[in-house]
Structure 1
Amino acid sequence: MGDAMIASFQLRTISSELPWGETHKLKASQYFVPQVEGPLKLPEVLCIAVKHDSVPDSSKGITFGSHQNCGVVLPKHDSISKFHFSLTFDDQDRLIIRDHSINGTEVKYGEQGAGLRSKRQWILNDPKLPSEFRPGVISFDVSVRLMMSAEELYKKVVDRFRSSCEEKEGVADYMLRMGVNPTVVERDPDDADIWLHWEVAEGTSASITRCWNTENGLEKVVKTRHNDCDQRRWSQQVNFMRTLQHHHHVINIQRFSNTSEGSPTQIEMDYLSRGSLDDPKDPSPVSKNPSQFSQQEARSILAQCLSVLVEMHTQTPPICHQDIKPSNILIEHRTSSSICVKLAGFSESNTEGERDMRGRDALYACPNHWAGICDPSLDIWLLGHTILALLDKDLQNLYCTNKTKFWDVAFRSEDSLVEFLLSRMIHQTAGLRSTATECLERLQELQLEERHGPIVLCGCSDEIDLTHKVRVRR
C-alpha cells in the first residue's frame, strides 16, 4: 500500500519572477514525494505525487499559498494569496480544487475553462469528462498539471484523507474563517459559471452539444440552430416542445435561450447519462447485455411513449413526432424492477405536409412516408417497430430484408405483446392502425388479463398508475 498513488503533479513557474527555492521543495515533501532532486531552475519542474499516506495540513485539505504553514508553499508574489487554493475531495469522492483567494484561480481543461474565478471550486477527475479535457491546468502565475492514476485503493485513500481533514484545525482554517487572506495586487475575477462543451451530434438544422459544469459536475445538452436552417420549422419545433413540457415522459427543457427575432436560437435540455434504447448504460434485469430488455420493460416503455402520443395526437391540430426510434427514447431511470424513459428528437415533428425522407432509418421506414402522408398513424407504426426491436431484433431486421417472411414468422409468434404490436400498431394500412388512446387502453387490458398488475407510467419516485390516465373499457 506504500506505493499507492492517487495523483501526480507537475508544478512549474511560468514567470521568471517566481523561481522555486529549496524551501518550497522541502515543504512540499512533507506531504508529497519529490520526483526531481536538487535546486530547480526554469524550465525544470517540481514533480510531486499524492500518496496513500499524504496528510492534509488543514480541514480544507492540502493548502497551496505563500504562507509558511501551507502544505505546499508557493513563491511569494503580489498576486498570490497566503492561502490561495486547496486540494481535497468532495462528497462524491472526486478530487477538487477550491479557491480561497481574492484574485482567483484559473483551471483550464484542454483549451476550455479560461478565466479567473474566486471562491469557486473545480472538479478534476469526474469520470464523465472526455479524456481530451484531462488533465487540468491550474494557473495563478504557477501552473499545476494533474495526472490521475487508476488505483483499486482509491476509495480507502479518499476516506482516510477526508477523515484527516475533519480532525485538522490549522492556521489556514483560522485565517480563512476570519477573512484574512490578502494580496498586494488585486484582480477582478469573473463570477460566471464555467461550462465545458463538446459536440455530440450534428444535424441538418442544428448541432447538439453536451455541457459539463466544472464546479458541481452538473450536465446539460444544448441544441443550437444553424443560421441557414428552416426558421419556420425551428420555431414550430420550439412551440411543440413548449406545449409538451408538462408531460413527464418528454425530455425536460431547462430553458430557451439567445432569443433572436422572437425565436430562441438554443434549447437547453436535461442530459440523461443512462443512455438511450439503442445504447443503454445500466444493467439489464434479464441479461449481462444492457441492450437486452425484459418483457415488462418493453411494456412499460410502450405505455410511457403511448402516453406522450396521446397528448400529442389530441392537440388541435394533432402533433406528429415522425422520428420515433430507439436513439430518440432516452432512459432516465432503470433498475431490476422498473424503467422510466423520455421521448426526445422533435426536430422532424409536424402537424401537416409531406414527410421529408432525408435521414430516415430504413429499419423503421413506414409506407406512409413514401406516400407523403403525415398523420398520427405514422407515430403508431414507428413506435410499434421500436418496441418490436426491443423484443426480437432478428425479427425486426427480417422486416428490412424479407417482408414476406417477416409477416409469416411474426404472425406465428405466441408472444402476446408481439401479437398486440402486429394487430394494433404495425399494419401496412394506416387506417387499420389503432389510435394512441386505443393502444394504451388495450395494453392495460392485456396487462390485467395476464395478471401482471397495472402498468406504471413512470418508473421513478413519482409513479403513476396507468389506470389513472386511461379509462379502461370493461
Structure 2
Amino acid sequence: MGDTNIIARLYAWPPHNRLAEEAIKRSGFAVSPLHESSIAPPFGRTEGLVTPINPSAGITLDQSLNPHIRISFNHVPKTSHGLVFGCGKQCDVVLPDERSISAHHFSITFDEQYRLIVRDLNSTAGTEVIFGKDVGHISAKFPRRNFQWLVEGSCRMPSSKVVIRVGLKLSFYLVPETQSMPQTEYKMKVDNFRQGSGTAQALFASINTRLQCQPQPVVGAIASKQDPIYQEMVIGKGAFGRAKYMWNVSTGEEMVLKEPINESTISPAWLQRWKEEAYTMRKLHHENILKLLHDEFWPRPQLFLEYCPGGPLTGIAHELSAVEILQVLQQSLAGLQYAHKIGIAHRDLKLDNILVASRSPLKIKLADFGIAKSDAQLQSVCGTPPFMALDIWAMEYPDKARYYTKLVDIWALGVVIYHLLFGVPVGYGPELCVKIVRDLRTYLQTNRGTIAEFLAKYMLRLQEVDRSSAAACYRGAMALPTPNDEIRGSTKASADCNSTAEDTLSETNLLDWLQGSTRPGTRKRAAGDARTSECRSQPRKRNISTKQRDDNSSGCGGSTSKLCSISDEEWNLTQLPTEQSTVTQTDLSGLFW
C-alpha cells in the first residue's frame, strides 16, 4: 500500500527540461528513485546554475522514476500560502533567476473546500495551467495573475494531465495522488497543511504585500479576475444546436451552454426563437425546473443553463423502482403545475427532457423549453411524436377554430411514466395514442398497479377535457400510497398489453373527432374561449388524410399508415376494475373535480 500522505508529484516538463529538473533537484522536497546522488545546494535570484544536468536515457514520466518533487502532508509549508515557488531564497521551492519568474511566483495548496489548487501569487508575468489534451501546446500565451486553478478537474472532466507553465522556459508536470484516507483525517491534514509551520514570517508578509498590490502586467499577461476560464466538452448535438458542458477551473462551477451550431444560419426568425426561449426560462423559478443562469445574444445566441450531473432520465430508466417512478411523477408534476400556473405550456416533455440532478436522493428537473409557449393560443403541430397527444395530431386537419391547451403536457408526462413502467410503446401518430390507452386499460383488467391506475384515470385520456390539470394531478400523486406496480420490460409489456380482436372497431368515430365533431357525453369548451390561429412552426412528420377513412385497421400493432379504431365506449375510460384498484385506498375524488 502506498504512502497515503502524498498529495501530488511534480516533474519537469517536457521530461528532462534543464531548468525544471535543476529546480526540482535543488528543492528540499526532491525525490530521485534511481539516483541517490546528493542534492545540489539551492539557488536564488543572485545565484546561477551550478551543477550540469545529465539526464538518464530511457527514463519515462509514466514510470514515475524521474526526479520529482513529492508534495506530502508530512512536509508542511513555511506559510499559510501553501508550497511557494519563486526565485526568492525564502521560498519552499526556489526557482532559477529568470526574467519572467517573480520572487514569489505561484503556490500549490488547498482551497476552503479542501480541493488541491495552483495559485498565482500576483506574479509579474503570470502563471498558466494547461489541462488534458492542451498539454502539448504549452506555447500558447494565456497567463493569469492572482488567479487559481483546481488541478484535479471535475467528475465529468477529471484532470489526468496538468502542466504548470512559469515564463517561457520553465514548466512542470503535476500528478495529483488519489486520496483513500477517511474524510475526517483528510480534512484535518489539509487544515494543518493550509495553516503552515509559521517559520517564515518575512515570506508570509512579503507575499501578503504582493497580493494586495497591482503591478503593471507584461505583454501577454491577462487580468485574471476579469474573465473566468472554462474547460469545455460537447455533450449533446442536434440539427441546429449543441450543448456544451462547461467547468470553471477556478471555482468548480458547472454549467451547460446551449448555442447554435452554425452562426451563419441564424436568421432574424431563429434569433427571435432563441430570445423567446430565454424569456420563457427567465420566468421559471422552481426546484424541479432547469435554471437559466444567464444568456447572451451577441455575437451569437448563448443560453447558460444549470448542469445536472445525472443526465437525461433515459440513462437510468431501466433501473428505476416503482417508488422512484412515483417520485419522478410527483416531481415532474410539481414543476409542471408551476409552469402551467404562470401560463407556460412545455409541449415537448419526454425522457430526454427530464434531467437527473441527483440519483440518491432522486431529484429531477424539467428541461428544454425551446418550443414552450403561452398556453392561450396553441395550434402548432410540434413536439416529439411518441409523446404527442391526440389533440396535437388533430391540428393536421384544417380547422381554423381548433386549438389545444397545456393539457397536452399531462398526456406527454403520462407517456413518460408509461414508458418507465412498461417500456417503449410501439406505434406512431393518433393510432399510438389510442394503443396506449387501450393497452393500459387491457393491462388493468387483469393486473394491479397504483401508478398505472392513476395514469389511466387522470392523465392518459384521449380527450383533453377528460384529463386533470397539473395542479390536480400533483395533489393526487402526492396522496398516492406506496406503489405496488410491477416494472415490466418492453417485451413482456407488449405481450401482456396486446389488444384483443374485440377492440377492433370502426374508426369513423376517431376520424369524426379529428375533423371537429363533438363526441357524445363530452364537455364542450366555454363559449368565451379564445380560438385564434398560429403558424405551424414544425415540419409535419406525417400527414393524416381523409383518404384513410376507407382503410381498415385490424389493431394497434399494425401498419402506421392506418388509424386504429376506437369505440364510443373507449372514449370514456373512467371505469376501472374496482376490485383491483389501489388508488381507491385513498379518496382522491375531491382532489380532481
TM-score class normalised by the smaller sequence? 0.7 to 0.9
- SS of residue in 2 equivalent to 1:128: coil
Tell me by how many angstroms 1:380 deviates: 1.0
Determine the structure 1 residue equivalent to 2:143: 116
Superposed CA offset, 1:45-96 (max 9, x none): 7533334634323322211111222222111112211111111122333211
2:129 to 82, 107, 113: 107
User: Which shifted more, 396-405 or 346-355?
Assistant: 396-405
Question: What is the letter of the counterpart of residue 130 of structure 1?
Answer: M
Alignment of 1:18-417 (within 5 A): 19=19, 24-28=23-27, 30-35=28-33, 37=35, 39-40=52-53, 46-51=67-72, 53-103=74-124, 104-109=126-131, 110-111=133-134, 115-131=142-158, 133-141=159-167, 142-153=170-181, 156=185, 159-169=188-198, 170=200, 171-179=202-210, 187=218, 188-191=221-224, 192-226=227-261, 227=263, 228=265, 230-242=270-282, 244-259=283-298, 265-279=301-315, 291-295=319-323, 297-313=324-340, 319-332=344-357, 335=360, 339-350=362-373, 352-356=378-382, 360=384, 362=386, 364=387, 366-372=389-395, 375-390=405-420, 392=421, 395-397=422-424, 407-417=441-451
* CA distance in structure 2 between the aligned counterparts of 1:356 and 1:221, rounded to whole angstroms: 24
Superposed CA offset, 1:219-256 (max 9, x none): 111111343253343333233223x3234432111112
- SS of residue in 2 equivalent to 1:278: helix
How much is the aligned-residue C-alpha RMSD, in angstroms?
Answer: 3.9
User: Which shifted more, 32-41 or 98-107?
Assistant: 32-41
Superposed CA offset, 1:332-352 (max 9, x none): 45655xx54321111233453
Kept in 1: contact 2:351–2:416 (CA 8 A) = yes
Question: What is the letter of the counterpart of residue 309 of structure 1?
Answer: L
- SS of residue in 1 equivalent to 2:455: helix
* CA distance in structure 1 between the aligned counterparts of 2:349 and 2:21, rounded to whole angstroms: 64
* CA distance in structure 1 between the aligned counterparts of 2:477 and 2:212, rounded to whole angstroms: 66
* CA distance in structure 1 between the aligned counterparts of 2:251 and 2:113, rounded to whole angstroms: 10
Greater strand share, structure number: 1
Superposed CA offset, 1:255-276 (max 9, x none): 121346xxx7111122133444
User: Which shifted more, 84-93 or 305-314?
Assistant: 305-314
Question: What is the letter of the counterpart of residue 152 of structure 1?
Answer: S
Superposed CA offset, 1:189-224 (max 9, x none): 323221222111112332111111111111111111
User: Which shifted more, 208-217 or 411-420?
Assistant: 411-420
- SS of residue in 2 equivalent to 1:50: strand
* CA distance in structure 1 between the aligned counterparts of 2:592 and 2:463, rounded to whole angstroms: 25
* CA distance in structure 1 between the aligned counterparts of 2:217 and 2:340, rounded to whole angstroms: 60
Kept in 2: contact 1:224–1:267 (CA 8 A) = yes
Kept in 2: contact 1:54–1:161 (CA 8 A) = no
* CA distance in structure 2 between the aligned counterparts of 1:324 and 1:11, rounded to whole angstroms: 52
Question: What is the letter of the counterpart of residue 65 of structure 1?
Answer: G
2:466 to 417, 424, 432: 432
Relative to the length of structure 2, the TM-score reads 0.62
Larger Rg: 2
Structure 1 residues 414 and 442, CA gap change in structure 2 (3 angstroms): same
User: Which shifted more, 323-332 or 202-211?
Assistant: 323-332
Relative to the length of structure 1, the TM-score reads 0.76
Tell me by how many angstroms 1:375 deviates: 3.7
Determine the structure 2 residue equivalent to 1:283: none
Kept in 2: contact 1:102–1:181 (CA 8 A) = no
- SS of residue in 2 equivalent to 1:352: coil
- SS of residue in 2 equivalent to 1:75: coil
Structure 1 residues 61 and 238, CA gap change in structure 2 (3 angstroms): closer
- SS of residue in 2 equivalent to 1:423: helix
Superposed CA offset, 1:150-206 (max 9, x none): 342486567435414424122421321243999999524323221222111112332
* CA distance in structure 2 between the aligned counterparts of 1:9 and 1:15, rounded to whole angstroms: 13
Structure 1 residues 213 and 183, CA gap change in structure 2 (3 angstroms): closer
* CA distance in structure 2 between the aligned counterparts of 1:34 and 1:129, rounded to whole angstroms: 34
Structure 1 residues 68 and 46, CA gap change in structure 2 (3 angstroms): farther
Structure 1 residues 153 and 416, CA gap change in structure 2 (3 angstroms): closer
Structure 1 residues 308 and 186, CA gap change in structure 2 (3 angstroms): closer
Question: What is the letter of the counterpart of residue 423 of structure 2?
Answer: Q
- SS of residue in 2 equivalent to 1:63: strand
Structure 1 residues 154 and 173, CA gap change in structure 2 (3 angstroms): farther
Structure 1 residues 290 and 152, CA gap change in structure 2 (3 angstroms): farther
* CA distance in structure 2 between the aligned counterparts of 1:237 and 1:332, rounded to whole angstroms: 21
Kept in 2: contact 1:79–1:184 (CA 8 A) = no
Question: What is the letter of the counterpart of residue 289 of structure 2?
Answer: V
Tell me by how many angstroms 1:320 deviates: 2.9
* CA distance in structure 2 between the aligned counterparts of 1:82 and 1:183, rounded to whole angstroms: 15
* CA distance in structure 2 between the aligned counterparts of 1:181 and 1:79, rounded to whole angstroms: 20
Structure 1 residues 164 and 432, CA gap change in structure 2 (3 angstroms): closer
Kept in 1: contact 2:235–2:243 (CA 8 A) = yes
- SS of residue in 2 equivalent to 1:179: helix
* CA distance in structure 2 between the aligned counterparts of 1:143 and 1:328, rounded to whole angstroms: 44
Number of residue pairs matched? 426
Tell me by how many angstroms 1:305 deviates: 2.7
* CA distance in structure 1 between the aligned counterparts of 2:293 and 2:10, rounded to whole angstroms: 37
Structure 1 residues 157 and 245, CA gap change in structure 2 (3 angstroms): closer
Does the alignment pair 1:11 with 2:26?
no
* CA distance in structure 1 between the aligned counterparts of 2:215 and 2:285, rounded to whole angstroms: 53
